[in-house]
Amino acid sequence: MINHIKKNFTLKLLYKIAFFLTLFGIFILIFDFGFNQPANLQIKINALYFLILSTGIVTTILRYITQRKEIETKVWLFDFLSIFITLVVIYIHFFSQEAHQHLTFLYNDNWIKITIILTFIREFSEQNINYKRTLLNPAQLFIISFLAIIFLGALLLMLPNATYTGISFINALFTSTSAVCVTGLIVVDTSNYFTQFGQTIILVLIQAGGIGILTFASYFSYFFKGVSSYENQLVLSDMTNSDKIGEVFTTLKRIIVITFTIEIIGAILIFLSLNSALFTGFLNQVFFAIFHSISAFCNAGFSTLQNGLYETGFKFNYILQLILIILLILGGLGFPILVNIMKYSKYYLTRKILGIKSWKKQYKPWMLSLNSRITLITTFSLLAIGTVLFYITEYNNALVEHHGFGKFVTALFGSATPRTAGFNTVDMTTLTLPTILITMFLMWVGASPASTGGGIKTSTFAIATLNFISLAKGKSRIEIYRREIADSSVRRAFAIISLSLIIIGFGIISILIFDPEKGLLNVAFECFSAYSTVGLSLGITASLSDTSKLILIIIMFIGRVSMLSILIAVFKKVKHKNYRYPTEEITIN
């Protein structure tokens, strides 16, 4: 019995050492690739890499030897592949002197990065992560996670090897906030200012901000352990809007699988649509495709091109633009809507078109939910109206260099991109005043709930529209598709609208105080873009004062996490009381 206790204690101690060693390895990795190392120090760092990777392999194998419970197929498959890759990388980088001559693809420092990260993920997933609702409520946890990523991202972007000429803290913080909040506003040119290492950091920040770092951490922990505490599930169900606590990890899995599947398919299609003559090599073309696929799906709007998609060789690539439109619309619809559409499409294809009936009796209501219907109708109505208006107002202006089908695609892109995407295929500074105002409105509405986009959301706008139609008809409630919209949803919608206008108004007034020469229209456009996490600009972002940049940072952050979430995080929740005061009408009109 004593020997068994000692054995367990030794194993736990070894696993803890392995975790902290891999955590240290992440910092060493950042230090190694962020700074130029002298030859003698690089030898010591390589020795640390070897120690960390070897320890990771040993601890993973020990878990299989000592663990009594049955391990799922997906877990041992992950472990087998990661150990195999790690062993190959160790052999090529540490034991083979001729690898760089025969295996140039594998003899790359990026493989060291991948194996260290895989080892860290495996060790991190074994740690017990418990969220305490008494310490932090879901809204506070959500906000703190974003703040942590933003400040970490700013420090990473200040590494010497992340930029060609260095970057100030305020510009690094602005870029990190813009990436994590999937906005796309830039104060320095992403293509010429940041190295590929710096652009990779931005890409990781976009992905982490688009999905949420807690989604990754929680799912990987559950992936390897197969269990989670009830408290964790309660917190995650609040953050993922899951209907049932038991389905929270299924929701997380769907989010991750849908995201990576769409991004991979998008990257392949983008790669195939590109002219290889515009790139210096195959890997640069691959990086461009991956970067823009992730940036589009996450509605970030970052581009590795100096003038965005208005760059020569890209502004007439209508196939590329159509692919990006599809990616940003899918990212802007929201994960619950995508899942509902996928289920409905599967049912409609198998039962209605192919006539295949399952042998099991299923009583699930295979239909589009009310939320999906409202979101889809609002999304595509705004897309169609925006396209027509853009086409009319810019026909003899921004669209003059395009012809036929090209005019339509560019107008469609001009309508889709303000919905928090932020890419541009036209020169924004040449747009007419009506187009600018239409764009500001589309930016303000933004994407859909539980998506990677910002704005007040399509459902909020739809509820507000349905509300004034109901009032005009003399109805006391909002009814649509034989359903009644809950009063709590109506109150929430109008709270979001009011708070958005307050924050945007505060931003416009504040920036005009510090940069009055920028003009009301330019500043207003910038603030609408920042709050709605769009990234479009009329060209004043880089020339703003540091104070104005800080104001935009705050607006971008509020726009991403929502002012309502901040208020929920700050105010103490009032307990429900079983009484009501007398109702009295207030004079409104």
What is the spatial distance between Cα 69 and Cα 77, in angstroms, rounded to a whole number? 16
With CA atoms as reference, report the closest residue to 190 among 54, 306, 333, 349.
Answer: 306
Contact 569, 143 (CB under 8 A): yes
Question: Is 239's pLDDT higher than 60?
Answer: no
Is residue 350's pLDDT more than 60? Answer: yes
Average pLDDT, the chain: 82
Return d(Cα 111, Cα 118) in angstroms, integer.
10
More confident residue, 502 or 211: 502
At residue 451, the pLDDT reads: 80
Question: 247-252, long-range: CB within 8 Å, 24+ apart, which pairs?
Answer: 249/218, 249/219, 249/222, 251/335, 252/215, 252/218, 252/219, 252/222
Give the pLDDT confidence score for residue 509 in this predicted structure.
Answer: 95
- The pTM of the full predicted model, rounded to 2 decimals, is 0.84
Q: Per residue in 395-453, pLDDT tens? A: 999 899 998 899 999 999 999 999 888 888 898 888 999 999 999 999 999 888 878 78
HSE value, Cβ hemisphere, 13 Å, CA-based, for 464: 15
Range 80-92 burial, b when 16+ CB lie within 10 A, else e: eebbeebeebbeb
| CA distances to 170, 363, 414, 508, 532 from 411, in Å | 35, 44, 5, 28, 21
For the residues 147-176, what does the mean pLDDT come to?
A: 91
- Residue 359's pLDDT is what? 43
Q: What is the pLDDT of residues 531-587, one digit of tens each?
A: 998 989 998 998 999 999 999 999 999 988 888 778 877 776 666 667 777 877 777
127 has pLDDT over 60: yes
Q: Judge contact between 420 and 532, C-beta under 8 A.
A: yes
What's the pLDDT score for residue 511? 95
Q: pLDDT band for 363, please (50, 70, 90 cuts).
A: very low
* Comparison of pLDDT for 142 and 434, the residue scoring more: 434
Residue 358 has pLDDT above 70, yes or no: no
Other CB atoms closer than 10 Å to residue 581's CB: what's the count? 5
Q: What is the pLDDT of residue 510?
A: 95
pLDDT at 500: 92
Report residue 230's pLDDT band, with 50, 70 and 90 as the boundaries.
very low
Q: What is the pLDDT of residue 366?
A: 57
List, for residues 259-317, the tens digit of each pLDDT value. Answer: 889 999 999 999 999 988 888 888 889 999 999 999 999 888 899 888 888 888 898 99
Q: For residue 213, what pLDDT is reported? A: 57
Answer for the pair 523, 511: CB distance below 8 angstroms, yes or no.
yes
Q: What are phi and psi of 217, to 5 degrees?
A: -60, -45
Domain residue spans of the chain:
2-125
Q: What is the mean pLDDT of residues 504-532?
A: 94
Listed ranges 224-233, 243-252, 541-550; the one with the highest mean pLDDT: 541-550
370: pLDDT strictly greater than 50:
yes
State the CB neighbour count (10 A cutoff) for residue 265: 15
Contact status, residue 32 vs residue 48, Cβ threshold 8 Å? no
DSSP string over 54-78 = HHHHHHHHHHHHH--SPPPHHHHHH
Indicate the pLDDT class of residue 392, thresholds 50, 70 and 90: very high
- The answer to whether residues 497 and 413 touch, using CB atoms and an 8 Å cutoff, is no
Alpha helices in 335-425 (DSSP H): 335-347, 370-393, 405-416
Indicate if the pLDDT at residue 48 is higher than 90: no
Alpha-carbon gap, residue 533 to 504, rounded angstroms: 12
At residue 12, the pLDDT reads 76
What are the respective helix, strand and coil percentages of the chain, to the nearest 5? 70, 0, 30
Is the confidence at residue 126, as pLDDT, over 60? Answer: yes
Confidence of residue 240 (pLDDT cuts 50, 70, 90): low
